[in-house]
Amino acid sequence: MNISPQMMQAHSISESKQRAGFVLLAFVQATLIFTIALIMIPLPKIAADFNLDSAQMLFLQVAYGLPFSGLLLFGGRLADRFPERPMFLIGLMLFGLSSVAAAFAPSYNVLAAMRFIQGIGGAITAPAAMAILRNIYPDPIRFGKAMAIWGGVSVLGATLGFVLSGIVTAWISWRWMFVVPVGVALAGLLLNRRLLPPSRLRNNDTKQQLDPLGALLATAAIVLTSYGLIRSGGQPWSSPHVWMPLLAGLLLLIVFLLLEQRMKSPLLPPRFLLDANRAAGLIGMLLAAAGSMLIELLPSLYLQQVRGWSALTTALSFLPLIIALLVANQFTSPLVYRFGARKVTIAGFLIAAVGLFLYSWLHHETGYLLGMVPGQILVSVGIAFVFSGSAVMSTSNVPEHQAGLAGGVMNTAMELGPTIGLAVFMSVAGLRADIVEGYALAFAAGTGIYLLVAIWLMFLPERTGSH
């Protein structure tokens, strides 16, 4: 049996150091997702401070997410082409410095620019963190257990960003929200040498070219498509502000896919997504992220617009969601190990579908404790299961030299989920003249989608295709 230098290096890592390295990387991953939701609730306050119009508010809202989602594929290539720990540090440094500047931003232009640079730093950091995690756990079984926890960490980060932003803004100032990304980035920069293993050794035949044209096309396609979907939330689909970026993005995506088939070292190898298990995992990540957005945004709007709750009280109303996620995350890894990632993902979709079905009975007089909390808890538990199972499926059977690519693709799916979900579910809600009836219809649509995906996964072979 041949033992690679990477395996020999990994065996020398103590279990306590593996655990400490995982905790550090998990905090970084959660913070990258946390930062997306960092300004969701404080946005009206920021708009008042800087006297922003609706277009500026929209750009500020997406200034982090667009470069983050658009550059993740290229970030994955960087993590696979160059030593992963230096790439991790470069990304983390960009992320941390821009977070400091954002906290002290004197104007809208500075804040928007720093949020954009945050997104670039995040797109470099996330895939590199995945590559380092694969280096910490080279054994597929242990890596799968780690990924089951990793998926839950991501959704918890997003939810905490949403809740804490409302609490901090009400009690102190929205600027203090940036303490979290600054602190975590600083911890990563200071502790990486002590807690993380050296970069893995690479053979020359596994080093891949950067494919700058493919990176440019993929980034432009994702950014334009995402922007068009975001604009659809406030304008009809027939608006040029919606269909023009959507059409341009889809055309660029087609050109990108055609180009990748001709490239010797493509940014996204066409066969990478042909593994049915992996593709199902990515779809699961996307739909779980979309469902997470659905149960945060619509109940928040309902409580504030219909029931007249304050932003602080609304933020506190999501505490059961956080508790449910924390509890569910304690069971996901053992369940995935015992029953398999696919079965856990199916169970998650079914549990979340029941929760969304309860939400679909929403009306003007729905109470919080009995009318919303049960659905909130069920959806939270279900989504935690889906995230964990899907994270394992989307990263299993991936060669070591494509660990960064796997992280980039998985995070791209996670980032596109809320954008696509926002466009689809708000369009469904718009089919009803009454806003609450529209919300209920959106929850019913989510119920149907989750049930259909669960049934599809039941008939999915355990593993097909190749990488």
The answer to whether the Cα torsion of 132, 133, 136, 141 is positive or negative is negative
Length of the chain: 467
* Tokens linked to 54: 């609706």
CATH top class, domain 14-211+263-458: mainly alpha
What is d(CA 1, CA 406) in angstroms, rounded to the nearest whole number? 27
Residue 249 makes CB contacts below 8 A (sequence gap 6+) with 220, 221, 222, 223, 224, 225, 226, 227, 228
Residue for token digits 């050794």?
201
> Based on C-alpha coordinates, what's the Rg of the chain?
21
Element containing residue 200 per DSSP (H, E): none
Cβ-contact 147, 323 below 8 angstroms: no
42: helix, strand or coil: coil
Element containing residue 462 per DSSP (H, E): none
Give pLDDT tens digits along the chain (467 positions): 444 444 444 445 678 888 889 999 999 998 998 888 788 778 878 888 899 887 788 788 888 988 888 888 888 888 888 888 999 999 999 999 999 999 999 999 999 999 999 999 999 999 999 899 988 988 888 888 888 888 778 777 877 877 787 787 778 888 888 999 999 999 999 998 888 888 776 655 555 667 788 888 888 888 888 888 878 767 788 888 889 999 999 999 999 888 888 877 778 887 887 788 888 999 999 999 899 888 888 898 899 888 988 878 888 898 898 899 889 988 888 999 899 999 999 999 999 999 999 999 999 999 899 999 999 999 999 999 999 999 999 888 787 777 888 888 888 888 888 888 888 888 888 888 899 999 999 999 999 999 999 999 999 876 543 33
Q: What is the pTM of this model?
A: 0.85
